[in-house]
Amino acid sequence: MKKDADYIYEQVEKHHEWFKKSLPMIASENIISPMARELLISDFHDRYAEGPPGGRYYQGNTFVDKVEIKAQELAKDLFDVEYADVRPISGTNANQAVLMGLGGPGKTITSVDVSDGAHISSAKFGSVGFRGMEPKTYPFNVDEMNIDVEGTKKLLKKEQPDIALFGRSVYLFPPPLKELKETLEDVGCYVWYDAAHVLGLIAGGEFQDPFREGVEVMTGSTHKTLPGPQRGILLSNPRDEEMKQKLFYGVFPGVLSNHHLHTMAALAVSLAEHQEFGKEYAKQIIKNAQALGQALYERDMDVMCEHKGFTRSHTLAVDVQEEGGGETLVEAMEEANMIANKNLMPWDDVNSAQEPSGIRLGTQELTRLGMKETHMEEVAEFIKRIVKDREDPKKVKEDVTEFRNDFQEIHYCYKEGLPAHDRFSFLDKYD
User: What per-residue confidence (pLDDT) applies to 122?
Assistant: 64
Alpha-carbon distance of 429 to 230, in angstroms, equals 25
Query: Residue ranges of the chain with pLDDT lower than 70?
Result: 117-118, 120, 122-126, 129, 350-353, 416-431
Distance (Å, whole) CA 150 – CA 58: 52
pLDDT at residue 423, rounded to an integer: 44
Contact 43, 64 (CB under 8 A): no
Q: At 3, phi and psi to the nearest 5?
A: -65, -30
- What is the enclosing helix (H) or strand (E) of 74? helix 62-79
Beta carbons within 8 Å of 230's beta carbon, 6+ residues apart: 90, 221, 222, 223, 263
Residue 124 pLDDT = 61
Q: What is the DSSP letter of 218?
A: E
Helix axes 261-297, 373-387, angle to 10 degrees: 70
pLDDT score at 129: 66
For residue 429, what pLDDT is reported?
43
Predicted confidence at residue 119, as pLDDT, reads: 74
Using CA atoms, how far apart are residues 121 and 375, in angstroms rounded to an integer?
A: 35
d(CA 225, CA 333): 23
Query: Is there a contact between 206 and 367 (Cβ–Cβ < 8 Å)?
Result: no
Alpha carbons 384 and 397: distance in angstroms, whole number: 13
The CATH code that applies to domain 36-273 is 3.40.640.10
d(CA 375, CA 309): 18
3-class secondary-structure state, position 370: coil
